[in-house]
Chains A and B, each alone.
Chain A
Amino acid sequence: QSVLTQPPSVSAAPGQKVTISCSGSSSNIGHNYVSWYQQLPGTAPKVLIHENNKRPSGIPDRFSGSKSGTSATLDINGLQTGDEADYYCGTWDTSLSARVFGGGTKLTVL
Chain B
Amino acid sequence: EVQLVESGGDLVQPGGSLRLSCAASGFTFSNYWMSWVRQAPGKGLEWVANIKHDGSEQYYVDYVKGRFTISRDNAKNSLFLQMNSLRAEDTAVYYCARDIVVATSLDAFDIWGQGTMVTVSS
Contact = CB atoms under 8 A, between A and B. Distances in A.
Interface of A: 2, 32-33, 35, 37, 39, 44-47, 49-51, 56, 86, 88, 90, 92, 96-104
5 closest A-B pairs by beta carbon, nearest first, are A35-B108, A50-B108, A99-B47, A104-B44, A44-B112
29 contacts: A2-B44, A32-B105, A33-B107, A33-B108, A35-B108, A37-B45, A37-B109, A44-B113, A44-B114, A44-B115, A45-B37, A45-B109, A46-B112, A47-B110, A50-B107, A51-B102, A88-B44, A90-B45, A90-B108, A92-B105, A98-B59, A98-B60, A99-B37, A99-B47, A99-B50, A99-B106, A101-B45, A101-B46, A104-B45
A50 B110 contact: yes
Given A44-B115, A51-B102, A90 B46 contact: no
A33 B105 contact: yes
| Secondary structure call for the A interface | strand
Interface string B80-122: 0000000000000001000010100111111011110000000
Given A35-B109, A50-B107, A45 B114 contact: no
Nearest to B111: A47
A81 B44 CA distance: 22
